[in-house]
Amino acid sequence: MKKIEQRLTENGVRPTAMRLLIYKYLAEKEVAISLTDIEAAFAKAERTTLYRTLRTFEEKKIVHQIDDGTGIQKYALCEPGCDCNLEQDLHLHFHCNNCDETVCLTEHKIPHINLPEGFVAEDANLVLKGICDKCSGQ
Amino acid sequence: MKKIEQRLTENGVRPTAMRLLIYKYLAEKEVAISLTDIEAAFAKAERTTLYRTLRTFEEKKIVHQIDDGTGIQKYALCEPGCDCNLEQDLHLHFHCNNCDETVCLTEHKIPHINLPEGFVAEDANLVLKGICDKCSGQ
DNA sequence: CTGACCTATGCAACGGAAGTGCATTATTGT
DNA sequence: ACAATAATGCACTTCCGTTGCATAGGTCAG
Ligand SMILES: [Mn+2]
Ligand SMILES: [Mn+2]
Ligand SMILES: [Zn+2]
Ligand SMILES: [Zn+2]
């Protein structure tokens, strides 16, 4: 728990009780988490607080936001030392059509694409959809 | 206009006046179109009708839906003979952070990715974000 | 031609999720 | 202990997608 406190402080986020709990929750789950997930897990907490906590975490590069095509924003902890904006840290995400969970495949970077003249890429999002390892029974 | 009528009929969609107009509108625009865009263009028409028209078009593979990360569903005409589900027809999309427009780059297919054991891909979405050709002044 | 039938359209309302304003409470540093 | 700053709680809003149901329009068999 001291570890978490330190991580937050390092990134310029005051380690309140709520924030520590949310970080811990994210760390325990190996999948991307939505605001609604967190809301369900912390029934006592206020939605807005959770919302703003996630946003703060994102601004301070503690989590990255994931758009998996479901229309629901998901979040997952960043790798230590990750700068989500850099091309090198852009990895792909996998969304399972069966269990509806989304996971980071941090070791799979987004391939570089040669765009037509005039197009300048600053960011990229690659989502694969299908059946995840848990659901494929393998 | 006869052409459009034929295209709709071929795909099992009855060519009503409204549908012809919407198809024409999509054909004239070279960018991906949202329901709200169409609503603005056809002020007299009912939102629901436009919505259902787009959905019908999508089911019948006349248009494909584009998730460009803005949280707003966009649509663009399919290439003739395209089967949006097939890997070969999956192309990338580019969203301009400046003019907020999204375009199909139909000639840029999504590269094949080797996934870890147990993951089975059925679909993919790749969106690049940055500055488009019009906005980069080139 | 006409009525039965199916499809498309119009109108109204709902729902989920993101986001904002403002008052209150907690934390920090002097 | 006090003032300043940051976090939290509560209420409310907006946006977009979506659905139910009633009506209008087109299609086809008799
Ligand atoms: Mn990720
Ligand atoms: Mn496209
Ligand atoms: Zn799964
Ligand atoms: Zn642009």
Give the mean pLDDT per block of 10 residues along chain B (138 residues). Answer: 90 95 96 97 94 97 96 95 79 96 96 95 96 89
What is the pLDDT, as a whole number, of residue B1? 73
Mean residue pLDDT of chain A comes to 94
β pairing state of B120-131 and B91-96: parallel
- Those of residues 57-76 in A touching chain B at CB distance below 8 A are 67, 69, 71
| Res. A102: pLDDT tops 80 | yes
Q: Which range marks the domain in which residue A52 is found?
A: 2-136
Number of domains forming the structure of chain A: 1
Interatomic CA distance for residues A115 and A121, integer angstroms? 8
What is the pLDDT, as a whole number, of residue A137? 81
Closest ligand to residue B130's CA: 4
In CATH, what number is assigned to the domain containing residue B128?
A: 1.10.10.10
Whether the predicted model's global pTM rises above the 0.75 cut: yes
Interatomic CA distance for residues A32 and B42, integer angstroms? 39
User: How would you class A17 by CB atoms within 10 Å of its CB: exposed for 0-12, middle for 13-18, buried for 19 or more?
Assistant: exposed
Interatomic CA distance for residues A74 and A79, integer angstroms? 16
Q: Are A93 and A68 in contact (CB under 8 A)?
A: yes
Give strand pairing partners of B64: B76
Instruction: Select the residue of A111, A125, A133 nearest B111 (Cβ to Cβ).
Output: A111
**Mind listing the pLDDT tens digit for each residue in A17-28?**
999 999 999 999
Q: Which residue of A has its CA nearest to B114?
A: A108
| Res. A98: pLDDT tops 70 | yes
Chain B interface includes A103 (CB < 8 A) = no
What is the pLDDT, as a whole number, of residue A138? 63
Q: Are B72 and B31 in contact (CB under 8 A)?
A: no
Q: What is the mean pLDDT of residues A106-132?
A: 95
| Res. A125: pLDDT tops 80 | yes
